[in-house]
Amino acid sequence: MERYLPGVVRGGGNDGRRITVRQLLQHTSGIPDYLDFLKPQDVLDNPLAHYDAHDLVKLALARPRVFDPGAGWQYSNTGYLLAGMLIERVTGHPYGEEIRRRIIEPLALRQTSVPDDASQIRGPHPRGYARPGKDAQLQDITALNPTVAGASGSMISSGADFNRFLDALLGGELLAPVQLQQMMKTRPTGNRDGGAYGLGLESHPLPCGGLAWGHDGGIPGFQTTGAATDDGSQATAMVNLYLGGTDAQNNDMASAAQTALCEGRS
């Protein structure tokens, strides 16, 4: 990391001279997740606030590392903020511009966008709600400045576009075979379901055999999980309640996607 972002990854025992790009993308860097230190109520009280990615990274790096680089696995959204910075440093363009040029436009994903600072969702869309506390009233959080997520999850898409993307990725349309092979080189995450993580891509065993490849993610108001098999089946589940959601809700979404994938293979 020091080669690409000199002096950026420092603090709390986190040292970019010891952290590789692979560790960053595979969540084995030990860098803390900035979301663990960002108060949800602050986001809900001021949903249109702009967040600078460098400030969010500094928020995480002020805390001690979770483990030594390569010594464990823990999901960290900070890693993707750093990946966005890395893309800009290497290409000279913001990460959103590179996503549009390399993925959205070639695949004609007409319902997919990188909104940058825009708080409005274009076209027909569901409303997003958050529950600040267990007994609190639901709060409409649809209008949200997505810089709170940045490169870690600020994209907007539809189920059809997400499925098209996964089909293209696993089908070899986006990456050379050697690159896709590296992306799908996984390590166990410690989840009881046998989940494993590659480079920004996770796998889970299917009850009908084989693996489901994809990713889940959320931003206040919305949550998505999408997966595909390498033989062409795809399934995406979306729900419009994220902040204040439950583990049962997450499990139901994953189960729905797995059921759809298995039915698609029968």
Angle at the Cα of 224 from the Cα atoms of 223 and 229, rounded to 5 degrees: 160
pTM of the full predicted structure? 0.92
Tokens of 116: 């940058």
Q: What value, to the nearest 5°, has the Cα angle with vertex 148 and ends 39 and 85?
A: 125
Q: Which amino acid appears at position 247 of this protein? A: D
Q: Kindly list the domain boundaries of the chain, sorted by start residue.
A: 10-265
C-alpha–C-alpha distance, residues 107 and 2, integer Å = 33
> How high is the pLDDT of residue 266?
61
Per CATH, is 10-265 categorized as 3.40.50.800?
A: no
Per-residue pLDDT of the chain (266 residues; tens, 9 = 90+): 999 999 999 999 999 999 999 999 999 999 999 999 999 889 999 999 999 999 999 999 999 999 999 999 999 999 999 999 999 999 999 999 999 999 999 999 999 999 989 998 888 888 988 887 778 888 899 999 999 999 999 999 998 999 999 999 999 999 999 999 999 999 999 988 899 999 999 999 998 888 999 998 888 888 888 889 877 677 666 666 555 556 677 777 778 888 888 886 66
Whether 86 and 19 have beta carbons less than 8 Å apart is answered as: no
Closest CA to 194 of 153, 141, 242, 254: 254
In sequence order, the 6+-apart residues with CB closer than 8 A to the CB of 162 are 112, 224, 226, 236
